Amino acid sequence: MIKIADYGMGNLRSVQKAFEKVGAPAEICDRADDLVSAQKLVLPGVGAFGDAMRELQSRGMVEPVLAHVKQGKPFLGICLGLQLLFDLSHEEGEWPGLGVLAGEVVRFEERPGFKVPHMGWNQLQPAGSPAILQGIPDDAYFYFVHSYHVVPKDENVVAARTEYGDLFVSMVARDNLVATQFHPEKSQQVGLKLLANFAAW
């Protein structure tokens, strides 16, 4: 069963409906105990990094999330759910993250012609051949909305980059874990294909 972690910050129903559309039932869980039995776990998120970490901690969800990844079970992070995996975020201060991946979360630099937040459709530049992108055209567009992006210390976890003024990391992957800065649940057919690929793991 796919379980979606509900810590009070995320477009949960949209993610659930997208999985249902590809024939993969998903359960929204707001109790830490319910996450323990997840075969596949999704960590979505919309909002501020510091608030998200406080909610995960107050609901006792940090340990089940870390245990799931450590046990080698499939894990998908979406948007803020990608950023939370890293050591540190600089969003309105400095906030420690889950520390699953080494690196930090930084704000886009202000550049002429490029608004912050980065919002709308943009393309991926895959690094290698990530399994999660199997069957998805190289020129596919995905939907983004974010002001911050991740800067991994380990280049080997980078699965795709996207250009917005400069290149930024838009997807990471390591073993059983994959996380996207874009929203697959808002990305029409290519997003559904990505979710179907994850459900098939």
Which of the residues 29, 91, 146, 185 is marked catalytic?
185
- Helix, strand or coil, per DSSP, at residue 85: coil
* 183 classed as catalytic: yes
Tokens 């659930």 locate to 16
- Long-range CB pairs of 84-89 (<8 Å, 24+ gap) are 84/43, 84/45, 84/49, 84/52, 84/53, 84/56, 85/172, 85/177, 85/179, 86/150, 86/152, 89/49, 89/50, 89/148
Pairing of strands 158-164, 125-126: antiparallel
Which of the residues 68, 79, 118, 149 is marked catalytic?
79
* 20 classed as catalytic: no
Left, alpha or beta for 145 (phi > 0: left; psi -120 to 50: alpha)? beta
* 79 classed as catalytic: yes
* Residues designated catalytic: 79, 183, 185
